[in-house]
């Protein structure tokens, strides 16, 4: 498992665990839950924020937030 902020552009993963006390409720409502697929579409300059696709939702989150989401790469 690696933190979400360690993904590189185009990589796909499955969310394994999240630290819910560190995650805004809005992200959970948008599908940021264990078992959902996630892929990194783009990183902004200086790697913050990250533009992601979670299932069929697209969203941007800060690197600081992404460090509390742990994923397993899909090979």
Range of the domain at 45: 2-73
Determine the 3-state secondary structure of 9 from DSSP: coil
Can you give the pLDDT of all 75 residues of the chain as single tens digits? Answer: 999 999 999 999 999 998 877 778 888 888 888 999 999 999 998 888 999 999 888 999 999 989 999 999 998
CB 13 within 8 A of CB 7: yes
Q: How many domains does the chain have?
A: 1
User: How high is the pLDDT of residue 15?
Assistant: 94
Burial class (CB in 10 A: 0-12, 13-18, 19+), 25: exposed
- pTM for this model (two decimals): 0.86
Determine the 3-state secondary structure of 66 from DSSP.
helix
CATH code of residue 45: 2.30.30.90
Contact 41, 9 (CB under 8 A): yes
């Amino acid at each position: 498992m690696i933190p979400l902020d360690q993904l590189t552009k185009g990589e796909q993963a499955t969310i394994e665990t999240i630290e819910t006390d560190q995650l805004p409720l809005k992200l959970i409502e948008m599908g940021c839950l264990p078992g959902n697929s996630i892929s990194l579409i783009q990183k902004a300059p200086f790697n913050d924020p990250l533009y992601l696709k979670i299932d069929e939702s697209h969203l941007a989150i800060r690197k600081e937030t992404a460090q509390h989401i742990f994923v397993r790469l899909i090979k």
